[in-house]
Structure 1
């Protein structure tokens, strides 16, 4: 809603007085006073925003007032960002002129200094004029607040009417919860195990906490009522207590309700201490069931006093909690095995709920006439009983098929009745969110219904909109996402090839649409629907669904103030690229621009217009999988606010623009799968905020003086995740590798080193380079390719205590494998293309290198592959008793080799014929996958493997 953007603007206004911008503003007469007035107005408005948000639901005039406020706030945010960008540009270009004097940079310089000052003056006056106009609009809004009589200040919680629940239920009215009821009843009747949720006092604790967790409207209370009234549950517990907790968590009210239920009378007590003592005495040595329905409180201290007073109950007592928030269940002591996550109803069950209401008092003929369309309406509920009841009740009073069709054709959020009967349930969850998380939830309205939301992509979009504050924006975004997930705003979590994805429940999505109204707008390129111009002016975020090679819908050009423009399946051709050029000239408020393709396609765009440099507010530019894109315009380096550039999968891209060192706010450069990339500019090494640089190619370019080198990595100590370095075969000096200081990149977890290049083998210094490229000790994944050294065992390799995965490919000169068996955490090992290796022996296990305390070689290895070892003949790893592997001790028959191995693949190793007692200890493990591809001459060996497989079972 409006509070987020108002807070953002106010922060910018307040900060103006404390930075260099104030000095610039003084050069424009009167602007300083205008900024002060703006600040006062926004502070006054912010003081009444809470009350306005409360009344937004029921009062249309207040909605309109908030919409106007939001519109002015967005416009002012754009103006202030324009101002800050001008200052940033001035700073960057000033530093460039001081440091760089090369002819290339002189050509690239924007204007002579005198012209530059004139241009800056014009920009300042233009911004000053915009600020004055916006102040006039804000004056009207600030004065109108008096007309509505808003209350100032107030608590952070927005009070909404919460329905009180009871234990009574008509079981015959409930559909589709029999299995869930049986599961919860089973958990209630099961005796407490010795391992109590309160481990410190497991012998004293007399109760166990069970939680039903799920989104609003899913039927948690109904399920608790069914379990509470089950006949076996009634017999099992001496006392059954039902308390509707709701929000806020009022300890005295709750304590009174518990005690009143136990003693069957109203207690004449007012102090919490006395109430809790009375509860303790009343349940002592009794087996009780306490249902705490609709719990929201996340303050563990408020629950602890109840927890302690209830421990005197007889073992086997249970507390059943219903909550929308998994963290609440955790706080109340619910172990993961005692959480029941309530699922949606099936489509048939949802239809049963809806039809039970919709067909009340209708003839059989009427029901048959409406059933087909009714089933389609039931699908809109997406398994949510509350929505099914709501729509069933709505249809009950609509008699004709046309009236039912009208309900089907409308989105739920467009149905006026939803505001009063359905959405209040979701407003409770929404207002329970911190204000900064609410705007992140609302942003999800930009996606179409049933869209698979990529978590990382969503967090990047939040970043681009300024929703995440501070230095660790990515971590904060993850916290916000988890917050929404814990409260069931997301569902259907899974991991696919792109990463971690989820969806929003259809009705939750409709609720987000309801709250954002015209601010978020989905455009289908196949539709030619025309809307009122006023609608287009209010749109701030939009996704364009493209189909085939259809042209851009004309409506896109009217979205003058849009901040997010996300294309899905953009069809690239010359006409598209011309239309993009037009867009860049008009949609100058963009913060996020997604022109990506989801996979390889020859229909991607081939050229990015230079006019992209006009999008001065842009924070995120996603060009991933545009496989026809061969270059980026130099003008992209004018985007001083750019935080994220994604060119992942742009496999024909040859080089990055020379001036990328100007992008001083760049945090993430996603450039994997850009194998034809031959030039990365040196300036990237100055971007100390850079957290992601997926792929770096060094050397081998005609402009070596301007190309990034290994040494230019020195200052990039914020790099995290994955780094692929290619072109190491072109590096001529060890100092360059030493200067890279990879060991200081503490947040790198995945490193790929490729020793490809043009220097002849005689001149290669690969063994020295590898030694100098020491990675951080916490590295988890390492891949080395094309290494030309004659030995491969740098000092640092054996100290990688957390290395989980190691891949060694294309080592043409080594004859003996390194002692990899001493790596304590290694789980996956791939070895391939080592033509000079003829024998794998004890040295591979680390014999003579393992510490005396070790009882196994490759202690964690699960997956081992040998591939294209064309001259490998013998695998001899027999360990004779008494073999000394350490100066002070010897191996005994209890020493293990690969005790956890579950997959062994030997492929394209056609000379391997001799296995001398290979890994005798494998008889003690379960080898699930064993494959050895051999030619006919080695059939006997393959037979030997088969014969031995009995020992792996």
Structure 2
């Protein structure tokens, strides 16, 4: 951790010099010399910190000093308190000179002490190399445990004479208990054997209230608003009547049966055959819970270990090379002692080591002799951690802020890294891309697991193994904390490490229980409200004091979620005091406007106001936020316009919704569509209110085609007042040609009679296409030749009566130069097509053989809903027995 801290300080020092701030500093005599000396000292300290960190774990040595050696203890954190370091603004240049000189003198002493401890000078691995994105292996499918799975699954599916039996999986940390339980939980036989499945992570603190709440949410697919445990238990008791359920309680530690008993009894109302499965490190816990079966998970057999290790360590390596490394690989593997997590960690590390000397260094590392903590798992984790570049070490350690078993959203984590200054660009690289590379780097080394992926196979959510989380907490030394608050009498921060806390996420479970001790954490850089797990939300009265006291914050999240009633309606003016703030999350609040005071936060990079549905206007001074990169405003349905100042935000990369005014309200203070030409946007954009445009030349000047990094585009043609001519929308659509890089396109409330602008068929990367409420179109556009189209959704095109050749792109004479239509289409959806009667193609009626053309060869799913006049499907769909058909509210439709 220390190396990452010093590296951060050096980066900030370099940044100050590079940005020209030193021009003012140079006016003070001697400052330039002191700055150089400061930099030299920091570089000297940084060079030995890799060795120091390894020895700190192994020998319990402290770089700050050693009282046993008779040396006065001197703390580095006095000068730059861990990751909380920042160069604060001072009013007088003389103060700058004095502060730098004081720091330098103290660092002189620290630098000299390194010789006393005989630290080795070791440069951080890959220090000078740019971190590239890497592929990773998801090991979920290659866990092994064949014997245990063959025992567990039948036990879960069979009927037992005992009412509500409990089965236990017992084994040491990192042995694979949770993975085994997940395999069983997702097994098809198990899924088909139960009406309801529920998974709850318990962890060290057995919180009956949280567990009961999680069970209700799993049972009913919605959160509970009940405040008392007794009410929750009665609700569960009623909800499971007539249901055969399967409940997993993962990672149970508590041995007090009195805590479990009320929950167990309320679950007895389920159908016979219901089961509870627990995972625990302690057999005494399983005995206490009265398990009828205990499955003791031992070390992974040698060959299963080798299969897992080989899949990771030899990934992408030629077979000839694999044979050269097999002997040393098996020697290293023997040190993992059959622990799957250790095998996974070391295998992921060695995958990036291509030279035998590197493998030999891992084999002979002193860290294998570590006898502290989780004996057999911290050694490989520390080996893998020490191999990380210093900037990625900081990113990993920050993850200790999240609760155990937390679903970490990739985008959210990257934004928090940005806020702390952990993502430094090189050349033309942007922070967002660097953050994605860092995330992938950690994933490729198995620091993350349980990946959730989108339709492009990109991770959007993951978790950390609880032992990896323990390891991160050990490294951060209480700088990154999660605290659960259950009442005012519960101290949120232990006084022994009060001064160390820099990053805090809180879960609040009782009304009016926000602890005052938070306000004294003046060094705090992150304060995040855990809205996903909290039972109550933050109240408005705490905000003024929060803003008043925690003025060093860089990341602040106070937004609730859809699960809570929204009570915060105003952002107090004290927000202007958070001048260091870079990330601000106000999502889901009931605010109607943002205060102009917000525009004084000149360091702000990310403003999240997603789903603030009552927000009507943004501050007119938004153009002052010159460092703003993300304006997350998805779902701000009441927003009237975007202020014209947005044009000044040349760093802006993410803008979810661009709203065009209907002429009422702010008039010339609102940004026109032309304003988009000043921005370079990434990812996605929803343009709302295109029907309000009176001059199509305004659309021409917007130069949307130049937005090369814009991959998802929604064009909403709604108009605030009055009618609009159909041909106006047709002309406007023709002008709004996007970049050829576009991957997703949606048209909404389009009033034209036809949809087929000249540019549409040139979108060779287009994979998702949606038409909604295009009520005047009588024919579907010719889309069959779009080469990359995978998903097509057509909603409420109420004037379409027939779908035929033109939909495929077949010429009017029934011939076509292409014989494969919709070559990559996987999902096709029609909904609310009120006048649609016929769906057929004339090509099959003109004597052509079926083999002459191919239509939708890749189609997997067909959905048709509320098409009351449709009579039949075309033959190629009707006769497809492997096609998944989801059809409802189509009374005349006959299909096989």
TM-score, structure 2 as length reference: 0.69
Distance 1:871 1:13 in 2: 68
Query: For residues 225-304 of structure 1, what are the structure 2 equivalents within 5 Å?
Result: 225=302, 292-293=329-330
For residues 444 and 691 of structure 1, the distance between their equivalents in structure 2, rounded to whole angstroms, comes to 25
Answer yes or no: is the 8 Å Cα contact 2:587–2:611 preserved in 1.
yes
Cα deviation 1:737-761 (Å, max 9, x = unaligned) = 1222222222222211110113543
Given that residues 831 and 866 in structure 1 are in contact (C-alpha distance below 8 angstroms), is that contact kept between their aligned partners in structure 2? yes
Map of 1:64-75 to 2, 5 A cutoff? 64-65=64-65, 68-74=75-81
SS in 2 for 1:650: coil
- Once residues 576 and 687 of structure 2 are traced to their aligned partners in structure 1, the CA distance between those partners, rounded to angstroms, is 29
**Which residue is equivalent to 1:40?**
40
SS at match of 1:325: helix
The one-character-per-residue Cα deviations of 1:437-473 (angstroms, maximum 9, x if unpaired) are 2221111111122222112211211121111110322
Report the Cα offset of residue 502 of structure 1. Answer: 1.9
Q: What is aligned with 2:889? A: 933
854, 866, 887: which one aligns with 2:818: 854
2: CA distance between counterparts of 1:530 and 1:819? Answer: 62
- CA deviation after TM superposition for structure 1 residue 650, in Å: 1.3
Q: Determine the C-alpha separation between the residues in 1 that align with 2:149 and 2:774.
A: 62
Shift of 1:672: 0.8
Classify 1:590/1:511 alpha carbon distance in 2 versus 1 (closer, same or farther; 3 Å).
Answer: same
1:730 deviation in Å?
Answer: 0.4
Aligned to 1:482: 440
Q: How far apart are the structure 2 equivalents of 1:438 and 1:851?
A: 61
Structure 1 residue 615: Cα displacement:
1.5
State how far apart, in whole Å, the 2-side matches of 1:290 and 1:802 are.
47
Q: Is the 8 A contact 1:216 1:429 kept in 2?
A: no
Q: Out of 743, 752, 755, which is 1:780 matched to?
A: 743
- Mapped contact 1:838–1:873 kept (Cα < 8 A): yes
Which of 594, 598, 607 is matched with 1:632 structurally?
594
Paired with 2:305 and 2:416, the residues of 1 have a C-alpha distance of 45
Aligned to 1:503: 463
Q: Distance in 2 between matches of 1:872 and 1:422?
A: 63
Whole-Å separation in 1 of the counterparts to 2:834 and 2:83: 68
After superposition, the C-alpha distances for 1:779-834 in whole angstroms (9 at most, x for unaligned) are 22211111112222110112222222222122232222221222233232222323
State the Cα deviation string for residues 365-391 of structure 1 (Å, max 9, x = none). Answer: xxxxxxxxxxxxxxxxxxxxxxxxx9x
1:799-818 alignment, distance < 5 Å: 799-818=762-781
> Which deviates more from structure 2 when the two are superposed, residues 530-539 or residues 7-16?
530-539
State whether structure 2 residue 750 is matched by structure 1 residue 794.
Answer: no
Structure 1 residue 923: Cα displacement = 2.8
Task: Report the aligned-residue RMSD.
Answer: 4.2
Q: 1:609 aligns with which of 547, 564, 572?
A: 572
Query: 5+ residue gaps in structure 2?
Result: 66-72, 128-143, 151-172, 178-296, 314-320, 334-342, 356-368
Does residue 647 (structure 1) correspond to residue 615 (structure 2)? The answer is no
Q: Is the partner of 1:830 in helix, strand or coil?
A: strand
Decide whether the 8 Å contact of 2:416 with 2:583 is kept in 1.
yes
Change (3 A) 1:221 1:896: same
1:179 to 121, 134, 147: 147
Distance (Å, rounded) in 2 between the aligned partners of 1:329 and 1:742: 43
| Residue pair 1:221, 1:293 contacting (<8 A) in 2 also | no
SS in 2 for 1:879: helix
What secondary structure is seen at the aligned counterpart in 2 of 1:822?
Answer: coil
- In structure 1, what is the Cα distance between the partners aligned to 2:77 and 2:176? 33
Q: What does residue 23 of structure 1 align with?
A: 23
Question: 1:881, 1:893 within 8 Å by CA — same for their partners in 2?
Answer: no
> Shift of residue 126 of structure 1?
5.2
Measured after TM superposition, the shift of residue 561 of structure 1 is: 0.6
Post-superposition shift, 1:930?
Answer: 4.9
3-state SS, counterpart of residue 730 of structure 2: helix
1:820 is paired with a residue of what secondary structure? coil
Q: Are 1:673 and 2:635 an aligned pair?
A: yes
Closer/same/farther in 2, CA of residues 221 and 654 from structure 1, 3 Å limit = same
Distance in 2, Cα, partners of 1:655 & 1:812: 31
Does the 8 A contact of 1:76 with 1:134 survive in 2? no
**Which residues of 2 match residues 308-347 of structure 1 at below 5 A?**
324-326=346-348, 328=350
Q: Residue by residue, what CA displacement relative to the aligned partner does 1:472-511 show, whole Å, maximum 9, x if unpaired?
A: 2222222222222222222222359997222222222112
- In structure 2, what is the equivalent of residue 51 of structure 1? 51
Change (3 A) 1:141 1:443: same
Structure 2 residue 446 is the aligned partner of structure 1 residue 424:
no
- Tell me the SS of whatever aligns to 2:843: coil
Rate the CA distance shift 1:331–1:418 in 2: closer, same or farther, 3 A.
Answer: closer
1:311-343 Cα deviation digits (max 9, x unpaired): xxxxxxxxxx9872347459889xxxxxxxxxx
Q: Which residue in 1 is equivalent to 2:498?
A: 536
Q: 658, 683, 686: which is aligned to 1:724?
A: 686
Q: 1:521 to 1:734 in 2, by over 3 A?
A: same
| Shift in alpha-carbon separation, 1:560–1:421, aligned structure 2, 3 A | same
Q: Residue deviations 1:381-405, cap 9 Å, x none?
A: xxxxxxxxx9xxxxxxxxxxxxxxx
Q: Give the secondary structure class of the aligned counterpart of 2:588.
A: coil
Cα deviation for residue 76 of structure 1 reads 10
Please tell me whether residue 703 in structure 1 is matched to residue 663 in structure 2. no
Q: Distance in 2 between matches of 1:893 and 1:424?
A: 62
Moved more, 127-136 or 775-784: 127-136
* CA offset digits 1:138-173 (Å, max 9, x no partner): 344334445434344568599xxxxxxxxxxxxxxx
**Cα displacement string for residues 530-578 of structure 1 (whole angstroms, at most 9, x for unaligned residues):** 7565622221111111113233212101211111111113989999333
Between Structure 1 and Structure 2, the one with more helix by share is 1
Q: Is the 8 A contact 2:424 2:431 kept in 1?
A: yes
2:784 is aligned to: 821
Equivalent position of 2:119 in the other structure: 150
Output the CA distance in 1 between the equivalents of 2:390 and 2:566.
41
For residues 154 and 541 of structure 1, do their structure 2 counterparts lie closer, same or farther at Cα, with a shift above 3 Å needed? closer
Which aligned pairs between 1:404-553 and structure 2 lie closer than 5 A? Answer: 417-418=372-373, 423-470=378-425, 471-495=429-453, 500-526=460-486, 528-529=490-491, 535-553=497-515
1:95-150 deviation line (CA, Å, top 9, x unaligned)? xxxxxxxxxxxxxxxxxxxxxxxxxx836455555445544543443344454343
Indicate the residue corresponding to 2:13 in structure 1.
13
Q: Which whole-Å CA distance do the structure 2 matches of 1:663 and 1:716 have between them? A: 14
Cα distance between partner residues in 2 of 1:157 and 1:721: 30
Report what 1:202 is aligned to.
none
Give, in whole Å, the separation in 2 of the partners of 1:229 and 1:779: 44
* 1: CA distance, partners of 2:74 / 2:617: 45
Specify the alignment match of 2:107 in structure 1: 138
SS at match of 2:603: coil
Deviation track 1:676-735 (CA, whole Å, cap 9, x = no partner) reads 111211222232222211111112242131212211111323x22221110001011112
Q: Say if 2:658 and 2:686, in contact at 8 Å, map to a contact too.
A: yes
1:931 deviates by 1.9
Structure 1 residues 33 and 581, CA gap change in structure 2 (3 angstroms): farther
Higher Rg: 1
- C-alpha distance 881-421 of structure 1, shift in aligned 2 (>3 A): closer
Q: Summarize deviations over 1:224-247 as a string: whole Å, max 9, x none.
A: 6467999xxxxxxxxxxx99x99x
CA–CA distance in 1 between the matches of 2:513 and 2:449?
34
| 8 Å contact kept, 1:878–1:919 | no
Q: Give yes or no for the alignment of 1:863 onto 2:810.
A: no
Report deviation, 1:774: 0.7
Contact 1:526–1:550 at 8 Å: present in 2 too?
no
Structure 2 partner of 1:918: 874
User: Judging changes above 3 Å, is the alpha-carbon distance between structure 1 residues 479 and 179 closer, same or farther for their aligned structure 2 residues?
Assistant: farther
Q: Which residue of 1 aligns with 2:364?
A: none
- Picking from 736, 739, 742, the partner of 2:704 is 742
- Deviation of 1:290 (Å): 5.2
Q: How big is the shift at 1:772? A: 0.8
- Give the distance between the partners of 1:899 and 1:714, measured in 2 at CA: 40
CA distance in 2, matches of 1:806, 1:674: 23
Please give the TM-score of this superposition, normalised by the length of structure 1.
0.65
